Chains A and B, each alone.
Chain A
Amino acid sequence: MPTPDAYCLARDGKPDCVVVDLSDDESIDFLDEITNQPEQPSSVIVVADEDGAAALAEEHGATKSLVKSDDVLDQVLGCVDEELDDSSGAANSGDRVSVRFRPQRALTFDNYDPGNFYDELFIDQGVPKPEARPLIEMIESLPHGELQQRQSTIESMLYRMGVTFNVYGNDDGSKRIWPFDIVPRIIARREWLRIEAGLKQRIQALNMFIHDVYHEGEILEDNVVPAELVLQADSYREQCCGINPPRGLWCHITGTDLVRDLDGEIYVLEDNLRCPSGVSCVLKNRELMKRSFPQLFNASQVRPVTDYPSRLLSTLEHLSEHESPTVVVLTPGEMNSAYYEHAFLAQQMGVQLVEGRDLIVKDGFVYMQNVAGLSRVDVIYRRIDDDFLDPTAFRKGSMLGVPGLLNVFREGRVALANAPGTGIADDKVLYAYVPAMIQYYMDEKPILPNVETFVCYDEEQRRDVLENLDSLVVKAANESGGYGMLIGPHSTRKEQQEFAAQIRENPRNYIAQPTLSLSRVPTIVDDHFEGRHVDLRPFILNGEEIYVLPGGLTRVALKKGSLVVNSSQGGGSKDTWVLNS
């Protein structure tokens, strides 16, 4: 609804009929100012919510009130016409009368308060970081309403294009767009180089760990990681023991979650080595941001992300011996929450998107069932969890997978990305040992630190956790998407007791971390900016070389004060800019 916050000028240039939208205090001050002037306009119309319009009009000396509704602007214009006809001589019929919206200032950061948090764009109130200055200046130079307008244009484009995710547990199968905030997060070049180096180091160590675990198990022998923790993990797949995946690579596509705490340090929060999603969101957000702010992309030299699909395809093709191998994306189907991404990546790479039922194992190879008959598949980018991949090897009775697939993989006749079994490295308990793995395999100090983590499997640490449930974040080892989590400071006594019982019952399944004070980024809230907490998920491709997509997915907790950024729990996303200089 357009704001009818306008005044109408008669021919001599003096306000004759004033219209005020009383939705905020500022407008009331404005109204008082007008009605207390010595030379009052002949009529003052106020627009307000239903339950106050008439009373407010009287109280502030207005002559007429209108209730806010969809056609209020038409009504206002009608009243203005009427008033002008009545007011003798102020405007003769046929005179042009201009209706002007009351000038409003653009959105500014004048009142934006970073508060007691690390802010990704501001050093202090009114002091943007140097790398954010061009952005802040551009936003402040936009005419009133323009930024919100561009944001809603982007949202409606996402809707039209059907960039949606499915919400589980909603009976109507409703699909929502992922809420998007137009103010990007900015990462300076120097900082990014360190993050990139840290992620590369980490993925190498994790890959060595997975290989070790499914072969000699030296790290377990040497007791750097307790063998019991590995062998009892839900994501450990004994079916994978002894397998030698192509090029010795287990994990090809990773999305690692990073957070920044109050101290300004970037920590690794978790490694996602199974089927991390969100990269399509990064690419779409960027495409739409470029359409909205073309000038800015020229000026600030944001590192591009558009080549991700080509790089992903190269990573996948690298896994086959063939010159031009047949690559497919395997999806659980359109009911899956990330289906959009599966289809998008297949389309961008120009490869076939398949479901389990489209594939068949025959004579030791995997084939697609085509109109023209069977055709061989060399590399499968699978977006199905291990459990459902092959009913003859993993969970029986699963209809999503391909019977016999694991055997073909084991014999080296098809490549799977990521390889089955990689999930062992993103177990939330084993996470605590990743710095030790880096030290063990690479003899290096970790570049990116872990968040301090208490492993409930350890008796002493468990005692500490149980005593401090009100200040810690507790996570179940095998849950994701923000489920199975206790955020101590935001939890009730009862929730804490429930978690305590679960921890005692199954200590191996829990870890705890101090509650971090996640950094914030200014985010549009109605007509101003407020800080909202963010995390960051960069995507890493591990092929012939290791490639880190500059930036990644910035997820933002849109609820005030919330620390949960997951899409299924009220999170949204922002574009992430890694600067070139």
Chain B
Amino acid sequence: MLCRSADSIFWMARYVERIENISRFLSITLQTTLDSESDDAEFWQPLVALAGDTRQFRSRFGRATEANVIEYLTFDNENSNSISELLRQARENARSLRETLSSEMWEQLNVVYLQVQETSLADILAAPEQFFSQLRLSSLAFNGIVAGTLSHGLGYHFARLGSMLERADQTLRLLDVRHRLLLPSIKNVETPIDDVQWAAVLGAASAYEMYRQRHHQITPDRVVDFLLFDPEFPRSARFCVSNALDAVKSISRLAKQDTVALPAFRRLSKAQSQMVTDGIDDLMLIGVSEYISSLETGLRSVTDDVFSAFMQQRAA
């Protein structure tokens, strides 16, 4: 596999994962606002912090409303993380490695891209929930198509690595932003007072049902514990890190590299073993924010490590 292709497929997978997350955040926020009578901005502003750039948003749109946040996160081409921009980049990456992908992968991305292109803001505002759920499912379907049609060789593992790093990052960001807002309640453990809010956090991570199966009652500390440390839930930080580690091992084996010497391997191994032993009590000791941001920084360095080990081309 070409260095350039590895880079393209890694980022293609990251962009698709990001689209899925942003669509889900929007979906959940739409549902939550229906259950509440309070001010719009209270719900929509945090979403900008989560999925975009607050300063950029303020200077362009001012006060957050349903319509302008949807516009900003879906269509704004000055926002490099808007859904349409991410789709464009994902599709461009896919196009540049078209001969490497299965035709089903390309077709799925192309069709979703064309659908979003042909949709207007007014169309979305008329039935936003429907639009974003559809988009979420399309992104999830893409992952299924990748797993079911692409040979599980280098390309597949780079895609998986990209998805997992992105997903971990999204879960961590979600926890970080939400926990700061809901901070007071985390100390009143075992009291289901903020049920709606914490249920929304779970929903935003697609975790509501799986959480209920495991812990039944919603309590803040268990929610944080679940999203960070659950070994089986596919969006928990721990799950993502250990899958990313698997992907790095496979890549290293297929590229005939010395795995133990790879910085990406060492960093991910360390994070993983730490998360296996850590529990919610350690977290309280260090502070949730600090814990999360050190993880986030670590994962960002993994991306750099992977780039310099496998994707960087020499100057001609």
Q: Which A residues have a C-beta under 8 Å from some C-beta of B?
A: 159-162, 329, 333-334, 339, 343-344, 346-347, 351-358, 360, 368-373, 402-403
* Cβ–Cβ < 8 Å partners of A347 in chain B: 98-99, 103
Interface segment, one of B51-59, B105-113, B241-249, B267-275: B105-113
Binary interface encoding of chain B residues 1-39 relative to chain A, with 1 for a CB under 8 A from any of its CBs, else 0: 111101000000000000000000000000000000000
A346 and B99 CA atoms in complex are apart in Å by 6
Residues of A within 8 A of B4 (CB): 355, 357-358, 369
B251 touches A371 (CB 8 A): yes
- Neighbouring A residues of B2 by C-beta, 8 Å: 352, 354, 358, 368-371
Please judge, given known A-B contacts A357-B4, A369-B3, whether A161 and B110 are in contact too, CB under 8 Å.
yes
Interface of B, helix, strand, loop or mixed by DSSP: helix
| Cβ-closest chain B residue relative to A157 | B107
Q: Find the A residue at minimum CB distance from B110.
A: A162
CA distance A285 to B208 in the complex (A): 48
Which residue in A162, A329, A369, A372 is a CB contact (below 8 Å) of B255?
Answer: A372
> What chain A residues lie within 8 Å of B97 (beta carbons)?
353
- Within 8 Å by CB of B254, from A329, A339, A351, A372, lies A372
Contact B103 A403 (CB under 8 A): no
Interface assignment of B137: CB less than 8 Å from any CB of chain A: no
**Smallest beta-carbon distance A22→chain B, Å:** 31
Starting from the known contacts A160-B114, A343-B95, A371-B251, 12 additional A-B residue pairs (CB-CB under 8 Å) come to A339-B95, A344-B99, A346-B99, A353-B100, A355-B4, A357-B4, A358-B2, A360-B316, A369-B314, A370-B1, A370-B3, A371-B2
Pick from B6, B103, B257, B313: contact of A161, CB under 8 Å: B103
Cβ-based interface call for B291 (8 A): no
B residues 124-150 near A (Cβ < 8 Å) are: none
CA distance A360 to B313 in the complex (A): 10
Give chain B residues whose Cβ lies under 8 Å from the Cβ of A346.
99
Q: Closest CB-CB distance, B164 to chain A, in whole Å? A: 18
Pair A334/B103 contact, Cβ less than 8 Å: no
Task: Using A334-B92, A347-B99, A357-B316 as known contacts, say yes or no to A371 and B107 having CB atoms under 8 A apart.
Answer: no
Q: Are A371 and B310 touching (Cβ within 8 A)?
A: yes
CA distance A352 to B96 in the complex (A): 12
Q: Are A371 and B1 in contact (CB under 8 A)?
A: yes
B313 touches A369 (CB 8 A): yes
Other-chain residue from A160, A333, A360, A372 in contact with B314 (beta carbon distance below 8 A): A360
Bound Cα distance from A370 to B4, whole angstroms: 8
| Residue among B95, B110, B255, B316 making CB contact with A402, cutoff 8 Å | B316
**Complex Cα spacing A403 to B316, Å:** 7
The chain A residue with its CB closest to the CB of B311 is A371
**Would you call the interface of chain A mostly helix, strand, loop, or mixed?**
mixed
Report whether B96 and A162 are in contact in the complex, using a CB–CB cutoff of 8 Å. Answer: no
Taking CB atoms, residues of chain B closer than 8 Å to A334 are 92, 95-96
Cβ of B227 within 8 Å of any chain A Cβ, yes or no, is no
Determine if B154 is an interface residue (Cβ-Cβ < 8 Å). Answer: yes
Within 87-102 of B, Cβ neighbours of A (below 8 Å) are at 92, 95-100
Smallest beta-carbon distance A337→chain B, Å? 14
Chain B residues, CB < 8 A from A403: 316
Residues of B within 8 A of A162 (CB): 95, 106-107, 110
Looking at the assembled complex, report how far the CB atom of A151 sits from the nearest CB atom of chain B, in whole angstroms.
Answer: 19
Q: How far is the CB of A564 from chain B (nearest CB, A)?
A: 29
CB-CB under 8 A from B96, the residues of chain A are: 333-334
Whether a CB of chain A sits under 8 angstroms from the CB of B214 is: no
Closest-CB distance, B260 to chain A (whole angstroms): 17
Please name 10 pairs of A and B residues whose Cβ atoms are closer than 8 Å in the assembled complex, sorted by A: A160-B114, A161-B103, A162-B95, A354-B2, A355-B4, A358-B2, A360-B314, A369-B2, A370-B2, A372-B256
> What's the interface size class on B, roughly?
20 to 34
Chain B proximity of A178: nearest CB distance (Å): 16
Contacts of B107 in A (CB 8 A): 160-162
B99 x A352 contact (CB < 8 A): yes
Residues in B whose Cβ lies below 8 Å from that of A353:
97-100
Smallest CB gap from A404: residue in B: B316
The 5 closest A-B pairs by CB, nearest first: A347-B99, A346-B99, A343-B98, A372-B255, A353-B99
Given contacts A357-B4, A357-B316, contact A371 B110 (CB under 8 A): no
**Chain B, residue nearest A352 (CB):** B2
In Å, the complex CA distance between A372 and B310 comes to: 7
**Residues 244-286 of B contacting A (Cβ, < 8 Å):** 251, 254-257
**Nearest opposing residue in chain B for A339, CB measure:** B95
Shortest Cβ gap from B98 to chain A (Å): 4
In whole angstroms, what is the CA distance A355 to B97 when docked? 11
Asked if A357 contacts B313 (CB within 8 A), the reply is: yes
Centre residue among B1, B95, B98, B111 by max chain A CB count within 10 A: B98
Query: Which residues from B are CB-within-8-Å of A354?
Result: 2
Question: In the complex, how many angstroms separate the beta carbon of A343 from the nearest chain B beta carbon?
Answer: 4
Q: Note all chain B residues with C-beta closer than 8 A to A358.
A: 2-4, 313
**Which chain B residues lie closer than 8 Å to A351 at the CB level?**
99
Task: Give Cα distance in the complex from A358 to B99, angstroms.
Answer: 15
Cα A372 to Cα B1 with chains together (Å): 8
* B154 near A371: Cβ-Cβ < 8 Å: yes
> Complex Cα distance A352/B97, Å?
9
Docked-complex contact B316 and A343, CB < 8 angstroms:
no
Q: Which residues of B contact A372 (CB under 8 A)?
A: 1, 154, 254-257
Rounded to whole Å, the gap between the CB of B47 and the closest CB of chain A is 30
Q: Does the CB pair B95–A371 fall under 8 Å? A: no
- Assembled-state Cα–Cα distance A159/B118 (Å): 13
A302 to chain B, nearest CB (A): 24
CB distance from B250 to the nearest CB of A (A): 12
Q: In the assembled complex, which residues on chain B have CB atoms less than 8 Å from the CB atom of A159?
A: 114
CB distance from B85 to the nearest CB of A (A): 14
**Assembly CA distance A262 to B27 (angstroms):** 64
Asked, given contacts A334-B96, A346-B99, A369-B3, whether A160 binds B111 with beta carbons under 8 Å apart, the answer is yes
Q: Residues of B contacting A373 with CB < 8 Å?
A: 255-256
CB neighbours of B255 from chain A (8 A): 371-373
Closest beta carbon of chain B to A156's beta carbon, Å: 10
By beta carbon, the residue of chain A nearest B97 is A353
Complex-state Cα separation, A154 to B3, whole angstroms: 36
A360 to B311, CA, bound (A): 15
| Cα A333 to Cα B98 with chains together (Å) | 12
Instruction: Tell me, in angstroms, the Cα distance from A355 to B114 when the chains sit together.
Output: 26
Shortest distance between the CB of B137 and any CB in chain A (Å): 18
Which of B99, B103, B310 has the largest count of A CB atoms less than 10 A from its CB? B99
Residues of A within 8 A of B99 (CB): 329, 343-344, 346-347, 351-353
Q: Give CA–CA (A334, B313) in the complex, Å.
A: 19
- Per the 8 Å Cβ criterion, residues 275-316 of B in contact with A are 310-311, 313-314, 316
Expressed in whole angstroms, the Cα–Cα distance for A356 and B316 within the complex equals 9
CB distance from A312 to the nearest CB of B (A): 14
**A369: chain B residues within 8 A (beta carbon):** 2-4, 313-314
Chain A residues whose CB sits within 8 angstroms of the CB of B103 once the complex forms: 161, 347
Residues of B within 8 A of A339 (CB): 95
CA distance A356 to B107 in the complex (A): 27
> Which A residue's beta carbon lies closest to that of B101?
A347
Complexed CA–CA distance, A358 and B254 (Å): 20
Interface residues of B in 56-103 (CB under 8 A from A): 92, 95-100, 103
Smallest CB separation, B42 vs chain A (Å): 39
Contact between chains at B98 and A371 (CB < 8 Å): no
The listed residue (B6, B114, B314, B316) touching A371 by CB distance below 8 A is: B6
Give the CA-CA distance A173 to B311 in the complex, in Å. 28
Taking CB atoms, residues of chain A closer than 8 Å to B98 are: 343-344, 347, 353
Minimal beta-carbon separation of A25 from chain B (angstroms): 35
- For A360, list chain B residues within 8 Å (CB): 314, 316
CA of A369 to CA of B311, assembled, Å:
9
The interface residues of chain A lying within 8 Å CB-to-CB of B110 are 160-162
Give bound CA distance, A347 to B316, whole Å.
26
Output the least CB separation between B125 and chain A (Å).
20
